[in-house]
Amino acid sequence: MAVAQPGRVDAEWLAKVHKQLLADTSIQFDLPAFAQPQPPAWLKPLLDFLAQLGPYMIYLFWGAVISGAAIILFLIVLEVKGVAWRLPWRRARSEADTEEQWRPDAAAAQILLS
C-alpha cells in the first residue's frame, strides 16, 4: 500500500494558486485611497481655540501637575497632623445640626399619628 506524500502535492498546488493570485489585478490589490473625512462644522471653533492654545499647553500641563502635587502634599500634611479631612457629604454632622431639627410636641404628634 503506497502512502501519498501530501507535502509535495500541497506545495505544487500552493505554488500554482500563488501564481494565479499574483497574476490577478482585481480589487484585492487596487484598494481605493483613503480620503480624510472633514470635521463637522460645530467642531471647527473648538479646533481653532485649541490651535491658539497650543503654544501654552506645556505651561497648562505643568501647572496642573504642580497643582495636583500640592493637593496631595496638603492632604499628606493634614494626615500627619492628625486632622481628619473628609469630603463635605461624608463629614459627620455636629450635634448642633441634629438638635436644630424641628420636632412637634408629643401631644401634637399623637394627634397627627392617630
What is the DSSP secondary-structure string of 39-108?
PPGGGHHHHHHHHHHGGGHHHHHHHHHHHHHHHHHHHHHHHHHT-----GGGSPPPHHHHHTS----HHH
Whether 1 shows a pLDDT value over 50: the answer reads no
Classify residue 1: in a domain, yes or no: no
C-alpha cell at 57: 499647553
Q: Residue 97's pLDDT band (boundaries 50, 70, 90)?
A: low
Average pLDDT over residues 48-68: 95
* 61 vs 32, residue with greater confidence: 61
Classify residue 18: in a domain, yes or no: yes
Percent of the chain with pLDDT strictly greater than 70: 82
- Give yes or no for a contact between 112 and 104, defined as CB atoms under 8 angstroms apart: yes
98: domain range? 11-112
Classify residue 5: in a domain, yes or no: no
Chain-centroid distance of CA 82 in Å reads: 35
Whether 34 shows a pLDDT value over 60: the answer reads yes
- Count of structural domains within the chain: 1
Give the CA dihedral 69, 73, 74, 78, nearest 10 degrees.
160
Q: Residue 3's pLDDT band (boundaries 50, 70, 90)?
A: very low
